[in-house]
Structure formats: C-alpha cells, structure tokens
Structure 1
C-alpha cells in the first residue's frame, strides 16, 4: 500500500481548451473498416445451400431453353436476396445501436468539477479518475494513486496484476486494461487509434461475430432438412426417369421438391425475432449484450441476486449510532445533511461529545466519497455506504479533513471486508478503519467507554456482537469503526481501538416483493447472495417475502462438501458474508443440479461467476466495466424487477421462435407431400418451380416474421421453466408438422386431380392458390398452442393480420395480373374454384380452434394441463 504523488494539474481542462483538442484529435474511438459492408451482406444472401440449388436450377432451365422458368427463378432469387439483405441490414444496425448504448463512461475533472462523460469524448490532457473495476479508457500517465494494480492481460496476455506508480514520465496506463485494486488520477496522453491498443486494432477488425447457440441449432436443423431434401429430390428424379418421364421435367420437379422442403427464411426470421426481443428488453431497461440471452432468459430456473441496489434502493442512510457508552438516533434521509444526531432526545454535535467526534472523524477520514452542494441540492460522489457516512458526519458537524492529511490507503476488498486510511494529524499519524463489524473486531484489542480505553475482553466482544445482531435484525446494514495511533508508513491493521457501530438503512424497492412472487409463480427460485451479515440478510428477505429458512455464511459454505451444497440449494436458502469466489461455487453447484442460472454481479471479481452463469447480469449504474463486459445482460436501472420482466420477454421470444419454426416446417411439409404424392400417383407436375418459390416467398418471408411479433400469452409466467434440453419443435411440434403437412398436401392433390379434366393449367393454378390460402389460414393455428384465437382476439396481432392480407393480395395478383400470369404460368380461376379452395380451408381454422378450446376448458376444470 502506498500513495505516491507528483506535481500535476488538479483542475483539469477548461471548456475553452477542450473544443480545439477535440477538433485536432477527434473522438476517442477505434473505427473499424466498414467499407463494402453492404456488399458483403448482399453476397452472403447467395451463399446458402438453398440459393445455390436455385441458381443451379436457373442455369439448367436456361440451358434447356426454358427461358420463362429461368427468368422466374432468377427474379424470385433476387427478390429473396433483397428481402434477406434488407432484414440483415436492419438487424445489423439495430445490434450496433444497442451496443452503442453500452459505451463506457469516464469520470473526469474539468474546470475543477468532477463529472461523467462518454469515454469517446476524452481528449489528451484530460484529468481522469479511476478506481477498482474501471476500464482504462485511453492511454494515460498516472499522477496520483492509492494501492493501484492493473490487469494488462488484454494487451500482454499475462494475467498477473501489475503495480503502478505515479510520475509525469511515459504513459503507464493503457486503453483496454482494467483496474483490479485501488484508485488514482491520471492524465490522458493518447486516444483512439493513437493508443497502444489502437495500434493493434487491425487484428480485432478481422474477428467475426460468433453466432448464437440458438442460431447454430437452427442452422443445423436447416442443413439436415436440406440434405434430406436433396436425397428425396434425387430419388424422385430417378423414379420419374426410370418410369419413362421426361428427364428435364423430372430434374425441375426434383428441384421443386427440394425447394419445398427447405425453410430458407428460418435463419433470417430467427435473427429478426431475437433482435426485436433485444430491442423490447432495452425499452424495459434490460440491455442485451449477447443475442442468445434473449431466449436463454426464458429458461432460467434460478436467479442468484445481490441485495444492495438490486433488491433494495441503494440509498443508504445512517439512522443509528451505537457505542459501548451511548446510543444515538439520526434523523433525515438521503444525501441531504439537514438532519441531526440525538442522544437521549437531545441534539448533539461532535464538539460537545468526544466519543461521537472520534467516531465521526473515522467515518470521514476512512472514506472516498464526497458531498457537494449545487443549486440548493446535494450531490454524492462515491459509494452509497461511504456517502451515508459522510452525510452522517455533516449532521454531527464533524471537522472536515483536508486532502493533504490522507497519507495512504488499504483499499476495501471482498475478502477482508474492511478498509483503512493512514492519516497525518499535525506531527503524528493515525490509522482509521471501517468495515463489517466482525472483521473490524478481529483487528481490535481495546475499546473506548466514556473516553477511557479498556481491553477488549470476551464480555465486551459479546456485548458488541449482541448489539450488532439486534441492529441487523431490524434490517440495518451495520458498519464497525476503529482507529489507533500510528507512525509514518505504519499501515498494518492491528491493535485497533474499537469506536462503535453505525446502522444504515437501505429500504427494499417497493416493486421487488411482487417481482419475487411472480418468480415463485413461474417456478423460478430466487437466492439472495450478499456481503451483509446473515441477520441483516434475513430481515431484508422477510420484508421482501423471500423464503429463506436457511442462512449460510461464506465461512460455513467453505466447510461444506459439494454434495452438501448441492443438497441445500434445493431448499429455501440465502447466503451472507460471501465473496465472489463463493458466487462461482454456488453457480457451479446449481448447474450440476441441472438448473439454468441467472447471476447478478457488479464487481471485478464477479466476472468469473457472470461468465460461468447461463445468464450473467451486470449492474448498469453501479457495476464495473469488467462486470459489464463479462455479462450477457446489463440492468440499466439495477432493479431486480427488471430481471423478471426480461425473463417474461425471453419466454415470449422462445415461444414465438417455436411458433414460426413449426409453422414454416409444416408449410413446407405440405408442399413436399403434394409434390411427391403427385409423382407417385403418376399425375402431371402439380407445381412449377417458380410457383414453389412464390409460395415460400409469400408465406415464409411475411407471415413468419409477423408471427414472431405475437404478444405474450396469458398465464405465460405461471408456467414452469422449460428444460435445459427442450427443443424448438418438441414432440407436439413434430405431430403438428406431420398432420398439417399431410392434410394440406393431400387436399392439394385431391383438388389438382379433380380439376385435371378442365385442363392442366387451371388445375395447377387452383391448386397453387389453394396451397397459398392453406398456409395463410394455418398461421392462425400457430399463434398459440393452447389458447384459441377467440380468446386472444383475431386482430390482436395486427401485423399478422396485415401480413395475411398482403399474402392474399399478392396471390390475387399472381393469378389475375398478366405480367405475373406469364411469369408464374397461371390463368384466372372462377368462383366455383374459390368455393372449392374455401371448403378445404375451413378445417384449418375451425379444427385447431375446437381442439384448443377443449384443452383450455379441461385445464380450467383441473382435468388436464394444456398441451404445448
């Protein structure tokens, strides 16, 4: 521990100095090469297995002189590529917009005022404040520090923490590295591309974004279907050829069959759905850093949450002081020091009470927070706990320390649960300490009672701990304070004199109680993990309605075997006096039980647990840069209720993904059944390749996207979480695909065969139209797998209704508009044909509604649960 200083500016840059520097050096960011970005996205539309098959088909048709077919396939391929390009471009921009919201901030001193600014606005010469957990925003020279260590593994690849010393020489803090211990001040020397990190940025620009787990699963499913399609198409060509059919016709039929089986729109619709979900979460103050977190959140079975600031308001206020000789009450709330301290009903100040004066002096000196007044309001800079102690000292009219008195600091750590400051007092020195009462008592050997010092025997220790527990049982967070005389350089925390306890209240957030009950209704276990003592943790849990029959401390956790821990996690438990290492072990044990774990964290040492959890959740307001960078989700308001809202959104997104995946595959199955069945029956070609492409474009591209916008179903948060191995389709989905595919395919064959006597073109046009109408009508069956549309409201998803109308409009154009008639080889159909189509369409609307109505009725009567 040391504090080294060198002559340096203390007021920072002025406003008049900043503008010229910004004009000269630009923004503090590393701009990646975005040239040809649009071209790369467009080219990517032509690289999928399906599109390659279509291009081959187009070339084959052109070579055989079928110019109209070749043109039709070419137009649809281009249209599909343009649609995919537009969707990917918008998705890419949406993701970049969300990431910009995570742009780090820098704490600077400008014109003598401390302020937070976007790190991109830093300029050389800025005076920056850094502390534990900060991400270094630019290359800088350290000018003042207290026990500063930096993790430079982002640059060097070595994980050892590097000690930093102050001086006005070469830069010794580098962009992208992380402060792991201590705090300090530094002057910016280089920004953006001129930093050491910026010089190797060319390497990072070549790193592609990793696809999400869900995208990989869906792409694998699409590939498996594509392989199946090619095999079936090849068999169809072979069967047709050896039974005497024209080779060209069979090749085109095989290609049509392959096209009908492959859900080409699935990956794009998936990405759009996840991005829309991420955008919706951002509006609810939950910022998604990894797209897979959108749907993974919906599977969460356990939420491990911090207490302070997440379950509580993080507005600490000191309300009680206890010493071995007296008790004090404190009035006032928040950071406003307008309240006062009373003893036996009388106001008292530090000048009139030596014991109170000594305690308040430690509260002020062993502190890094500041209280400032501006325009009749008080602003606190620093941690809420330290800020509450500063406000307390103001209420007691304690003497404010000068910065020159602070000589050295032992920073707070999650392992020691305390901090201390070495302070110069005239010609002498004193060491002041504060922290968790039991950790403060562990370094004390005496105590003050009525201005006299007594050895700290077992009786006094018991009395102190009893008072501590009594305050904690009332829901107070308790801080112990101690001090001793010292020498220059004497910073060892030993032989301290115990001064007293301060009780602080951090009221629970009013909305958290209801959020916890919502979790319980949804089958989600909530586990509080806090650094506070077990008594305080129990009191807060009781106020929030959080069941916690067992309260384990970090020390007790360390004595447990993995088997014992796994067993106790199945009960109502909370953890107190824990360290980040304990969090990691808890997450690992929960995952060993098969749980899907969401874990909150805000500190540097929380990063391993956040990475290990299925969903790492960092605090946006009080979290460190390291915690945010290690997370999947950032809470912009640090509120537990926001997590519950994000889980509801995640469940909605997963359900919608399942809906449109089943819908797309059932639609394509119907096309495949119709094509293959007609071939086996020796019928003419039931659909032309251009018509198959048209069907997929109308249904897959528009209706599926609209289905992905479906609102959350009633009662969705009363269902248990889905299993870790739950699939997108599920057994019910496979049955839906088979049954609907068989019906729509069989109905298409019947219509085609019954109309052949009127001519092949009219039969094909009617069947082509029927299949489009079938798929547009069937989409309503997929809006919910248990709730009828009569309950949801037929028009409640206006996007889906508009998509169906658009699909109907385009199909009318396909059979009545001459240019499309020529392209798709159709001709107008009469009223009798529409009646036939309508007759086969009605069951697709009525039957699913009846089945869901019966299941819903049985569920309400308690006979059975609705099937999904």
Structure 2
C-alpha cells in the first residue's frame, strides 16, 4: 500500500483506484502471506477493550459501598475500644461478603467469556481467489468483502459492486430509513457520513441486496471505533439496589451521629464523665450499625444467582438480580444464540405430496421419506428434482467441507439449507451451476420478498448428439424464483405436477397457502419455488432487469428449521 493525496477520502476515489491503493485484487483478494503481514501491521479488527480486571482489583471494589465503609469504621472503633470480639465479627462479615461477591462475579465473567468465543462474528471474504468465511477479527485493510442481506458490516469498506443494496445506518447516523448504496464515485471531497453512498461502515446492517467491497479501515480506525472511543469514559450506572443501599447507609450514618451526639451532650449536661460519655456514645453508634445487613443481602442475592444459573441464566453482578425482578420485556437474539444457525430443510411439498427430509445441520447425508417410507423414486421424479434444482441455482451459498467430517456454508444459512437438500438428492453444486450459467440476478429484499436468477443452459431434450457423449441442445434462457409463498404464488399462472404443466386456479393458490401456513405452524421457515422459460439465448440484448414477473410455473414449497442448541 502507498500514501496518496486523498486523506482517506475513499468515497471520492474510483473503485479501481481504491483497489490499487490497497494493493489487492477484486477477483482474488489478498494472499495468506499478505494477510499475516497486515495483521501484524494494523492489528486485529476489534474495538479497544477495557483492561482485564484482576481478582485483587475486583476484591477491592467490594469495599466501596457506603454500608461496608461504615462497618469498617465501626470495626476499627470497636477494636480501639477493646471490643476485639465485636471487631473481629464485623470484619469477618465484611470479608465474607467481599469473597462471595468476587467469587460470583469471577464465575459469571468466565461464563460470559466462553459465550463471547462461541458468538464471534464472521465475515465472508475473497482470499487466495476463493470465497471463505473467517472470523471478523481477522479482517485487514484490502480484504474483499462479500455482503448479503441480513449481514452485519464487519469493517468500513468502499463498495466496488452492488445490486439493489440498502443499508441500515441508524447506529451511526440515527437515520431510521435504510439508505440506498452503490459503487458510483462521489465528486465532492467534503461529504457528511450519511451521504457517502459508496461506503459501508462497521456495525451497520445490510437490509437488502448484495455487494462486494474493499475494506478501508478496521478496529478503532473505523467510524464506529471512533464513536466507541468517545463513549469509553462513560461511568457505569448503579443498579436500583445499590442506590437503595447507599440511601440506607447515609440514613443510618446520619441517624447514628445525631443520636450519639444527643446522648453525649445529655450525658455531659447530667454531670457524667467526659471520657465515659464518649465511650458510651461511640459504643451506641457501633451497636446501631446493622453489621449483618450486607452479608444477608449478599447471601440472598447469591442464592438468587444460583437459582438463575440452574435455568441457564448468567448474572454478572450480584446487584443485577434485584434489577432483573423489575424487568418486563427481554429482547434476545435467536439465530445463532438460542439456535445453532444451521438451517435444515425438513419438509418438501411437491406433486401434492409432503416429503420429509432426514438429517440435521449442513452434513449432506439423509434420505427422503413419503408417508414414513423411503421415497426411493425421487431420482425419477422430474418435478421433485426441479424444485431442488431451483433452490440450488436461485442461491448464492456454497457448501464446503472442512477437515474430515465438518461441513460449513459460505453464505446465508437459509440458502445453505437449500444447497444441502439438493446435494442430499445427488446434485453436484459445481456442475449444476456450470451447466446453468447465471446471467442476471434480482436479489431478495425485505420489500419484494423474492429472489430471481436468470440462467443460460442447453436444453438436452431438443437436440441430442450421442457421438460426442453429451448434448448439443439449443441454448435456452430460464428464470428461477424463490421467496415468500404468497408473493411467489401471485406471480404464477401455472403449476407443475408430476412433470406436467397446467393452469393454476385461484382455489389451488388458496389451498397452497393453507399448506404453507400449516408448515409454518410447525416452526418451519417456508419458501415457495417457481420457474419461467424465457426462450432462446439469441435474445442477448434483452434487458433482464425489466423481466415481467408473471406467468411463472409454481413447483412447490420447502420448509426448513434452525435446530435449537442442546
């Protein structure tokens, strides 16, 4: 990489120049050797974290509560008065209270660290000429990012290719409406953050479309990192229980001082000895301090933490137990947190038949069942093969094998489930995608709720050349569609059943919607599939972005589920 006169204003540079600036390749990305060098130079792609709190520091923190300070003062006074037993009991309670608090917080911290390791965000990049999924922390400037709908942007990046891209930038700009993005150069060099339509920023979310982008900044050098640096000094708010204990502590301290002072003065006025009255007043003050209260509170909270732990809930701070009791709404992430984030196709509805799919996760093993019996004729069922082919081709995910037994999906988990269901039936994803060359894509979006891909292929049924051991059919163009059942049905005029195409009636559409709802009630995510033949490939000058989304042939439904974590 080299310096230039753009002052990191990559939005004002042509994408080709940005790629050249970072000494990378749009198609091949960085090499492993170059990534290692840049990791050493720029560091990992993570925000600055607070220094790890030591056990001794955590122990010292337990003595900052006002009630504990009052008890320590009472113990010192008791010791000076010769009440060593009382002083020892008070100190024992104070230390026990601190030990319980430290032990619980240490256990919770370890459990949270383990959870963080499990939930490390990932990024889809091109390296060494191949798409691969890596830990987002391993990103470096110059990496080529692949961004898809629903994914979090893991670093600041300059867009080099985009298709109907929209990004939710509320975390950065406060703008609630997703912004449309594209790769076009911005002429001005002084542009507000929210108007940089060719940049994506760490922490934002892709709401629709797809994009390819080159990473321009990572970690604390990102826009999000700068904001995090500004907020690092914000102090932690005390919990309601901590505030209440401070209030009680102040009240007891004031009341004890007033009563002791009154007793001391009344004693003097009554003619008692000054030293005797002082000892009496101090003893009264020590006796007024509820030395058992902190220990009672800590033990009660610790028991609450243990009960929560049995229900798989981790409480970091003891005082949070009381706060949790006031909670009315809990917002939690489901995908990848409560579930494995390994979508698996479990039901396929085609030819008016409901077929079950065996297997779980991304391993492409498992058969097909119809009415509890193995569906052995699926390789002869043209419509069944067509719905699987549609799911495989109207798709951007790739199934890869890691090591001996581990299978992973590079791309969206929902699309990955469709790839796996096709591979289970014997489809080869590389061969199918080579035979059906994609020439256009209309990405899925939350607005349209459908995805369309257009492919060129040779229709082997039209012209067969046995002498060359293959097919030399005429090149045809076909569109595949997947999406929400209702949306797909609205664009269909025909249905294929047992390899034969006929008109699709309104009653049949309603019946299919009922079947889709029944599948959804079983916690399945349901997608509808359809296709449309567009004629010969001689229409090379046709603008496929203007394809009429009507008269598609409906094939069937696939229902998938994200299995819960054990």
Quote the offset at 1:223 in angstroms. Answer: 3.9
Task: State yes or no: 1:497 paired with 2:527.
Answer: no
Contact 1:136 1:175 in 2 (8 A): yes
Task: State yes or no: 1:18 paired with 2:35.
Answer: yes
Contact 2:501 2:553 in 1 (8 A): no
Give the 5 Å matches for 1:597-746. 637=565
Contact 2:480 2:530 in 1 (8 A): yes
Quote the offset at 1:209 in angstroms. Answer: 1.4
In 2 relative to 1, CA 425–212 (structure 1 residues): closer, same or farther, beyond 3 Å?
farther
Distance 1:507 1:35 in 2: 35
Contact 2:366 2:424 in 1 (8 A): yes
Distance 1:102 1:308 in 2: 15
1:60-116 deviation digits (Å, cap 9, x = unpaired): x8xxxx995599999999999988888877777666655544364222445436234
> Paired residue for 2:171, among 154, 165, 189?
154
Give the 5 Å matches for 1:424-463. 424-425=455-456, 431-449=479-497, 453-463=501-511
> Paired residue for 1:401, among 433, 456, 465?
433
Which residue in the other structure is 1:333 paired with? 359
Distance 1:321 1:303 in 2: 36
Contact 1:51 1:77 in 2 (8 A): no
> Paired residue for 1:28, among 34, 42, 45?
45
Which residue in the other structure is 1:389 paired with? 418
1:401 aligned counterpart, secondary structure: helix
In 2 relative to 1, CA 475–122 (structure 1 residues): closer, same or farther, beyond 3 Å?
closer
1:267-325 deviation digits (Å, cap 9, x = unpaired): 6986798689769977986455786664566788999999998599966234443235x
Task: State yes or no: 1:136 paired with 2:136.
Answer: no
In 2 relative to 1, CA 160–332 (structure 1 residues): closer, same or farther, beyond 3 Å?
closer
Quote the offset at 1:502 in angstroms. Answer: 3.2
Quote the offset at 1:204 in angstroms. Answer: 1.6
1:400 aligned counterpart, secondary structure: helix
Task: State yes or no: 1:107 paired with 2:155.
Answer: no
Contact 1:53 1:255 in 2 (8 A): no
In 2 relative to 1, CA 193–83 (structure 1 residues): closer, same or farther, beyond 3 Å?
farther
Distance 2:333 2:79 in 1: 67
Which residue in the other structure is 2:3 paired with? none
Which residue in the other structure is 2:203 paired with? 176
CA RMSD of aligned residues (A): 5.3
Contact 1:446 1:498 in 2 (8 A): yes
Distance 2:165 2:322 in 1: 40
Distance 2:332 2:61 in 1: 45
In 2 relative to 1, CA 10–226 (structure 1 residues): closer, same or farther, beyond 3 Å?
farther
In 2 relative to 1, CA 158–295 (structure 1 residues): closer, same or farther, beyond 3 Å?
same
In 2 relative to 1, CA 248–365 (structure 1 residues): closer, same or farther, beyond 3 Å?
farther
Give the 5 Å matches for 1:405-424. 405=438, 407-411=440-444, 413=446, 418-424=449-455
Distance 1:439 1:504 in 2: 16
More strand by share: 2
Which residue in the other structure is 1:244 paired with? 271
Contact 1:98 1:279 in 2 (8 A): no
Distance 2:79 2:516 in 1: 88
Contact 1:483 1:496 in 2 (8 A): no
In 2 relative to 1, CA 452–396 (structure 1 residues): closer, same or farther, beyond 3 Å?
same
Task: State yes or no: 1:199 paired with 2:226.
Answer: yes
Contact 2:59 2:99 in 1 (8 A): no
Q: When the two structures are superposed, what TM-score results if normalisation uses the length of structure 2?
A: 0.66
Distance 1:498 1:293 in 2: 57
Q: When the two structures are superposed, what TM-score results if normalisation uses the length of structure 1?
A: 0.46
Task: State yes or no: 1:212 paired with 2:229.
Answer: no
2:36 aligned counterpart, secondary structure: helix
Which residue in the other structure is 1:602 paired with? none
What residue ranges of structure 1 are gaps of 5+ in the alignment? 510-636, 640-868
1:490 aligned counterpart, secondary structure: helix
How many pairs were matched up?
495
In 2 relative to 1, CA 90–337 (structure 1 residues): closer, same or farther, beyond 3 Å?
closer
What residue ranges of structure 2 are gaps of 5+ in the alignment? 1-14, 20-24, 187-195, 458-474, 535-541
Which residue in the other structure is 2:399 paired with? 371
Distance 1:243 1:475 in 2: 82
In 2 relative to 1, CA 229–483 (structure 1 residues): closer, same or farther, beyond 3 Å?
farther
2:167 aligned counterpart, secondary structure: strand
Distance 1:205 1:470 in 2: 49
Quote the offset at 1:405 in angstroms. Answer: 1.6
Distance 1:271 1:303 in 2: 25
2:200 aligned counterpart, secondary structure: coil
Distance 1:219 1:493 in 2: 69
Distance 1:267 1:221 in 2: 11
More helix by share: 1
Distance 1:252 1:140 in 2: 72
In 2 relative to 1, CA 430–238 (structure 1 residues): closer, same or farther, beyond 3 Å?
farther
> Paired residue for 2:388, among 357, 360, 367?
360
Quote the offset at 1:459 in angstroms. Answer: 3.1
In 2 relative to 1, CA 440–261 (structure 1 residues): closer, same or farther, beyond 3 Å?
farther
Distance 1:348 1:234 in 2: 93
In 2 relative to 1, CA 89–156 (structure 1 residues): closer, same or farther, beyond 3 Å?
farther
In 2 relative to 1, CA 181–211 (structure 1 residues): closer, same or farther, beyond 3 Å?
farther
